[in-house]
Amino acid sequence: MSIFAALHTYHEDAGHSAAMNMAIDEALLESAAVPSIRFYRWASPALSFGYFGRFGEVASYAHERDLVRRWTGGGTVFHGDDLTYSIVIPSGDPAFGESSTSIYEKIHRAVVDALAANGECAELAPIVRIADSGIASSDRGYDCFANPVRADVMLDGRKIAGAAQRRTRAGLLHQGSIQGIYLRNGLADRFVKELSSSCNIRNLSDAVSDRAQKIAAQKYGTEAWLRRR
C-alpha cells in the first residue's frame, strides 16, 4: 500500500552547494502543502553531518569536500556518488500523525521494494533504534554507512540506505541517501512509484528558491552554524 495519496516529485539535475541543498529542504518543509520528494545533486563532493555532530570530527575533510551541518540528526554521510533525496510530509497530511519510527520503516520498505523490482534482494536492518522524537538518529560523530540502525536498508550485509529526520510544527523532514550500489537503472522512479500511485513532477518555485537562498546565507552557509559544536 502506498504511503502517500499524492506526491510532488522534484528532480534536480543541476548541482547545488551543500549549504543550498540543506536550505532548499528546509524551505520546502516550510511551504509544502502536499507530501514531496526531492532528488538532488551536489556541485562538488560533499560531506554532511548530523545536527548534534562535532565539527572537529569532520574538519579534516574540509580541504577535499564541501562540509555542511544538517538540521536532521544522524552520522557522517559522504555525498557525490550517492542518490540523495529528501521527503517532506506537511503536518496536515495523515502520514504526519504516524510515529517517526513507522515513517522511517515505511520509506525504507519502499526502497527495498524498488530494489526488488531490479532483482536486488535487500532487507531492513532489525537492529538498534530510531528515536521517536523531534530529531531522529542522534549523532555521535560516526560514519553513518558503517553503522546501520533499525530499519536501514541492507544488501549482502552492507548498509546501502540510511536517513535522518526532523519533526516541526510545519511537518516532517526525512533526509536520505542511497549508495554503494548501481543507481542509474531507474531506481529513483521506482522508489517514487512505491511511495505513491499519484505522482506529479514539479519544479521548484521562485518563492522556494528565494527563501532557500536566504536560509543558506543566514544559516547553513555560515561558520557559526558549521562550528556550533
**Catalytic entry in 124, 144, 161, 181:** 144
What CA–CA distance (Å, rounded) separates 215 from 227? 17
pLDDT tens readout for residues 77-126: 999 999 999 999 999 999 999 999 999 999 999 999 999 988 899 999 98
Q: Considering the domain boundaries, does residue 149 fall inside one?
A: yes
Q: What sign has the CA pseudo-torsion 208, 189, 94, 107?
A: negative
Q: Which residue range(s) make up the domain with 89?
A: 7-226
Q: Considering the domain boundaries, does residue 147 fall inside one?
A: yes
Task: Give the confidence band of 137 by pLDDT, cuts at 50, 70, 90.
Answer: very low
Nearest CA among 117, 126, 179, 166 for reference residue 149: 126
Q: Considering the domain boundaries, does residue 145 fall inside one?
A: yes
Q: Considering the domain boundaries, does residue 2 fall inside one?
A: no
Looking at residue 128, its pLDDT comes to 52
pLDDT tens readout for residues 192-225: 999 999 999 999 999 999 999 999 999 999 999 9
pLDDT tens readout for residues 185-199: 899 999 999 999 999
Q: Considering the domain boundaries, does residue 1 fall inside one?
A: no
Query: CATH number for the domain including 185?
Result: 3.30.930.10
Q: Is the pLDDT of residue 61 over 80?
A: yes
Query: Known catalytic residue: 144?
Result: yes
* Number of structural domains the chain divides into: 1
Residue 157 CB: number of other CB atoms within 10 A?
6
